[in-house]
Amino acid sequence: MIKRRTNAFTLLELIVVMAISAILLTIIAIPLVQGFNLTRAAQGFADAQDKARQVISQIEIEVGNAAGVRSNTGDAGALNLPVPGQNGATELVRLEAVKMDLYKIAEGDPSNFQLGPGGRRGFVNPDTGLVDPTLQGPKGDPNFPAAAGTTIVRYFIGLRDPFQPYNNPYDRLLARNATGRDNLFVLYRAEVRPYIYDTATNRYVVNANLFFDQDSDNDPNTRGALLDDLNFFIDDGNMGGTYAATPPGWGEPGIVPSGPPSKAGMIANWVRAAKIVTEVSRYDMIVPVFDRRTRNVSYLGNVPQLIPLIRFQPTRVSAEPAQGRLAVRTGEETFNADKVGADVFVTAYGAWSELTMRSYPTVYPSSWGFNPGDSLAGTPRASWITNPLGTSAPYILGRTRPDGGFSLYWFNPAVMSDEKTEGVEVFDVSLYQYASAGNLAFPFTQAIVAADNRSGFSANAAAVRDFMAMVPNPQAGRVTASFDIREVGALGGPVPPGDNSPAWATGPAETPDSNSAPAEDFFAGRINQRFNRMWNDWATLAPGIAREQYAKRFVDLRFATGPTGERSPLDPRTGLGRAYITPGSEIVIGPDQRPGANYGLPVRYTRVVTRPVGPNQYFINYVDQRDPDWVAAGVLTAAQANALDIYNPQSFQNTDFTWTVLATQFRAGYLELNSNKNEPIPDGNISVAYRFQFTEPNDVVTADYDSSEVMEIILTIRNFPQTSNPEPQAITVKGSADVRNFIR
Per residue in 509-546, pLDDT (tens digit) is 999 988 777 778 777 789 999 999 889 988 888 777 88
- Torsion angle, alpha carbons of 79, 80, 84, 85, to 10: 120
Q: Which residue has the higher pLDDT, 732 or 406?
A: 406
632-652 pLDDT per residue, tens: 777 777 766 665 554 444 444
Given this model, what pLDDT does residue 35 score? 57
564-581 pLDDT per residue, tens: 888 899 888 787 878 889
Query: Residue 449 and residue 48: Cα distance in Å, rounded?
Result: 58
Instruction: Report the SS3 class of residue 424.
Output: strand
User: With 50 as the cut, is the pLDDT of residue 376 above it?
Assistant: no
* pLDDT tens digit sequence for 335-347: 666 677 788 999 9
Q: Does the pLDDT of residue 239 top 60, yes or no?
A: no
Give me the percent of the chain exceeding a pLDDT of 70: 79
- Which residue type sits at 274? A
Q: At 76, give phi and psi (nearest 5°).
A: -65, -25
| The pLDDT of residue 532 | 93
Provide DSSP, 166-212: -B-TTT-SS-TT--SS-B-EEEEEEEE-SEEEETTTTEEEE-TTTS-
> What rounded mean pLDDT belongs to the chain?
81
Q: What is the mean pLDDT of residues 722-739?
A: 78
Pairwise pLDDT comparison (518 vs 3), residue with the higher score? 518
pLDDT score at 447: 97
In 3D space, the residue among 365, 444, 359 whose CA is nearest the CA of residue 409 turns out to be: 359
Residue 385 has pLDDT above 60, yes or no: no
Question: Which range is most confident: 101-105, 107-111, 372-376, 730-734?
Answer: 101-105
Q: What is the pLDDT of residue 253?
A: 41
Looking at 64-78, 351-365, 540-554, which range is the least confident one?
Answer: 351-365
Task: With a cut of 80, say whether residue 327 has pLDDT above it.
Answer: no
- pLDDT score, position 628: 77
Q: Are strands 606-607 and 617-620 parallel, antiparallel or unpaired?
A: parallel
Task: Work out whether strand 148-159 and strand 352-360 pair parallel, antiparallel, or are unpaired.
Answer: unpaired
Residues 665-685: tens digit of each pLDDT:
888 899 999 999 999 999 999
Residue 367 pLDDT greater than 80, yes or no: no
Tens of pLDDT along 590-612?
999 999 999 999 999 999 988 89
DSSP output for 29-74:
HHHHHHHHHHHHHHHHHHHHHHHHHHHHHHHHHHHHHSSEE---SG
How many Å apart are CA 712 and CA 100, to the nearest integer?
11
Amino acid, res. 506? T
Q: Among the listed ranges 84-93, 207-216, 349-358, which one has the minimum average pLDDT value?
A: 207-216
| Amino acid code (one letter) for 121 | R
Most confident of 12-26, 81-95, 389-403, 486-500: 81-95
Q: Is the pLDDT of residue 707 over 50?
A: yes
Rounded average pLDDT over 232-248: 54
Least confident span in 63-72, 179-188, 248-257, 552-561: 248-257
The b/e string for 122-149 (b: 16+ C-beta within 10 A; e otherwise) is bbbbbeeeebbbebbbbbbeebeebebb
Q: Which residue has the higher pLDDT, 635 or 379?
A: 635
